Amino acid sequence: MERKTHLCNAETIREDDLQNAIVLAINEVLGSKDSYLSILVENIETVLNENADKPTADIDEKLKELQMELLRLANSKADYDEVAEEIYRLRELKQDVLLKNAEREGMRQRVEEMTKFSIEQPQQIEVYDDLLVRRLIEKITIHGRKLTIEFKSGIAIKKLI
């Protein structure tokens, strides 16, 4: 069996240092509820207003018309390639619209959860809680000794460790 050795030159971060930075970021958000809640409200408005869910009824109606046209052309042995291509294009468009609507709904739910949690949280947290972190934090990016802690609500906090 071949033995391969790879050296990793990446700097390590102690888990307790990482956890402390996360607790500080959560407390920063909780300690500044008013300013962060206004950011959350802006995020909600952006999600709800600028990217309003697009209905698929128009696409469904057009698909129905094209399918009838396709049947008519096929029965009369006419060329129906263009109609078939348009049907495929509209199906893809409908799938994209449905996916974007679902993504927006997920964002709405995350922002609402964060808002509700922030309002209900009476005080700052003192110890790292994995369940709480999974509920609030979307991702953590590490660059050297700098952390960017991104909340599911869209808020990002930078911390040095």
Q: Assess contact for 157 and 25: CB atoms under 8 A.
A: yes
> What's the confidence (pLDDT) of residue 135?
83
pLDDT, tens digit (0-9, with 9 covering 90-100), for 42-84? 766 666 665 556 678 888 888 899 888 888 888 888 888 888 8
Kindly report the number of other CB atoms within 10 A of residue 21's CB atom: 22
Structure-token match 């922002």, residue found: 111
**Predicted model pTM:** 0.51
**Per-residue burial over 117-140, b = 16 or more CB atoms within 10 Å of its CB, e = otherwise:** bbeeeeeeeeebeeebbeebbeeb
pLDDT, tens digit (0-9, with 9 covering 90-100), for 32-47? 666 666 666 676 666 6
